[in-house]
Structure 1
Amino acid sequence: MHMIRVEPRCRVIIDNDWAGDPDGLVALAHHALSPANRIVAVTASLTNPMFGPPGGRAQAGGHLAEDLLRVLKLPELPAVHAGPDAPFIGQPRANPAARAIVDAAEAGGDLPLILVCAGPLTNVADALLLDPAVARSLTLAWVGGAARDDEEYNYFTDPAAADYVLGNRDLAVWQFPAETYRKIVAPVAELDVEFRNAGPAGAWLWEHFNSLEVPGFVKFGPLWCLGDSAPLVVTGLDDSTSTYVETSAAPQRRTYTSVDTRLIMADFAAKLQLQG
């Protein structure tokens, strides 16, 4: 039996620092299993030095994303393109990730295009610098920023990139700041149960949560933040149970003040079980 039919509502580019916190990989699996969105490109960004020397980390993250997509065994999923390991420099630098974003924007299509970034905005900044027309071809859904930006991981990993992207007057942005995304949490016990009993993809995710290398000062508690899944409410699901504030002027700037955690987590658990 097939799942009840769901029509695609958008095309998505997924950008993340896949070699960092594994909640990004959960979000990638969720998008890949969601028929309401169609993935047209996946790109890998640099990681914060807290996860180790930055050299080769974007490429390593790209390999992780590719491996997960292979485990999911879904048809017609795109290749993963890695960006640079260095922060934004404010000058054009053609790299595979930026080029993939530009190509996806130029390809057009019958559905709106959403660029989901749940990491530093390095690849997005490089793409906008490479081709400014990208800004008018898509909406950026960014997991990042906070009331104090310098205290938020995705911002301070590459503040120059964030300032450049958010300062673009042609770019529509749907932002999920720290005050919102940090409330998307799941009990570790629940994740253990779901991953262990959801086939090869669940086992793959379980292994990466258990093998994450972090600095000694990081201590894990009974809850795990899955903040990178926040944009699912505007891609694979619906934001009818979320709240936000937005500007009336174009381009649209929207800040989500709450998202439905139960909706996101229940949907992912069900899709992982069906896939397994």
Structure 2
Amino acid sequence: MDMISVEPRCSVIIDNDWAGDPDGLVALAHHALSPANRIVAVTSSLTNPMFGPPEGKAEAGARLAGKLLGVMKVKVPGGVHAGPDTGFTGTPRSNPAAHAIVDAAAGEGLPLVLVCAGPLTNVADALLLEPAVASALTLAWVGGAAGEEEEYNQYTDAAAADFVLGNPELAVWQFPAETYRQLAAPVTELDLAFREGGPAGAWLWEHFNSLEVPDFVKFGPLWRLGDSAPLIVTGLDGAGSAYEESGSRRRTYTSVDSRLIVADFVAKLRLQQYT
């Protein structure tokens, strides 16, 4: 029995600190399983020092993302590329991740969304290398917070965040901490989904269970999947979400349907066995 046909509605570049919190890899798998979007490039950014010395982490993250896509037999036209292990400097620097973003922005027909669920380092470097990138895509960023709170993705590279968000030509759909923290799944549901999810589920299960985390991180009955928040607009038509607009090019999402996103991921993971 063939799958119900879904037409692609956008292309996506996926940028994340893949060597950090593993919810990014869940989001990558979810995007790869979603026919409504088409992955055209994957880029890997630096991690926060809380995950250990950052040297080599961007490259390690690129290897993790590449392994997952390989297990899923997903080919990405623009490949998987690592950025630098240091924050944004404000001066042009040539790196594979920034060039991959520039190249993807130059060659797309479908609306292009750059989904970043980590620091904005690679995005900032790409905009500095080629300013025309700003008008060629929409940035869906998981990061920032209201008030004075320090948020992980923003403070990991605050200079990059200031540069990117200060670009008036760039359309931004922001999923701040108050919104992305709404997205959680019971650990039991994830465990079962991974066990029944074929090769990709088995790979994710192994990665979660062998994860090295700082001593202060204690696992509870829920796992936050904040990096999956943009799936509501890339893979799911925006259903069950709400946002506030600031001008014509900026949205701040205030709510996402956590159940819709998690249920969609679990179903797509299990359906792999029929494809």
* 8 Å contact kept, 2:78–2:104: no
Equivalence for 2:258 = 261
Equivalence for 1:272 = 269
SS of the aligned residue for 2:230 comes to helix
1:67 Cα deviation (Å)?
A: 0.2
Give the 5 Å matches for 1:28-107.
28-75=28-75, 78-107=78-107
Equivalence for 2:241 = 242
Corresponding letter in the other structure for 1:42:
V
Please say which of residues 193-202 and 164-173 is displaced more in the overlay. 193-202
* 8 Å contact kept, 1:149–1:156: no
Aligned equivalents of 1:122, 1:2: Cα separation in 2: 41
The Cα offsets for residues 170-203 of structure 1, whole Å up to 9 and x where unpaired, read as 0000000000001100111111111011111101
* 8 Å contact kept, 2:10–2:38: yes
Corresponding letter in the other structure for 1:29:
A
Equivalence for 2:212 = 213
Aligned equivalents of 1:102, 1:237: Cα separation in 2: 26
The Cα offsets for residues 18-64 of structure 1, whole Å up to 9 and x where unpaired, read as 00000000000000011100111100000001111100000000000
Runs of 4+ aligned residues of structure 1 deviating over 4 Å after TM superposition are 75-78
SS of the aligned residue for 1:151 comes to coil
Give the 5 Å matches for 1:59-208.
59-75=59-75, 78-109=78-109, 111-148=110-147, 151-208=150-207
Q: % of aligned pairs identical? A: 76
Corresponding letter in the other structure for 1:34:
S
* 8 Å contact kept, 1:69–1:77: no
Aligned equivalents of 1:201, 1:36: Cα separation in 2: 19
Corresponding letter in the other structure for 1:54:
P
SS of the aligned residue for 2:2 comes to coil
Aligned equivalents of 2:111, 2:207: Cα separation in 1: 33
Q: CA RMSD in A?
A: 1.1
Corresponding letter in the other structure for 1:4:
I
For structure 1, the residue ranges without an aligned partner over 5 or more in a row are: none
Give TM-score, length-normalised by structure 1.
Answer: 0.96
Corresponding letter in the other structure for 1:187:
P
Equivalence for 2:10 = 10
Aligned equivalents of 1:102, 1:95: Cα separation in 2: 11
For structure 2, the residue ranges without an aligned partner over 5 or more in a row are: none
SS of the aligned residue for 2:219 comes to coil
Give TM-score, length-normalised by structure 2.
Answer: 0.97
1:76 Cα deviation (Å)?
A: 5.2
* 8 Å contact kept, 1:149–1:155: no
* 8 Å contact kept, 1:173–1:253: yes
* 8 Å contact kept, 1:195–1:206: yes
The Cα offsets for residues 134-166 of structure 1, whole Å up to 9 and x where unpaired, read as 000000000000014652110011000001000
Aligned equivalents of 2:205, 2:185: Cα separation in 1: 14
SS of the aligned residue for 1:180 comes to helix
Aligned equivalents of 1:74, 1:80: Cα separation in 2: 12
Aligned equivalents of 2:213, 2:148: Cα separation in 1: 22
The 1:230/1:149 distance shift into structure 2, 3 A limit, reads farther
Corresponding letter in the other structure for 1:255:
T
SS of the aligned residue for 2:18 comes to coil
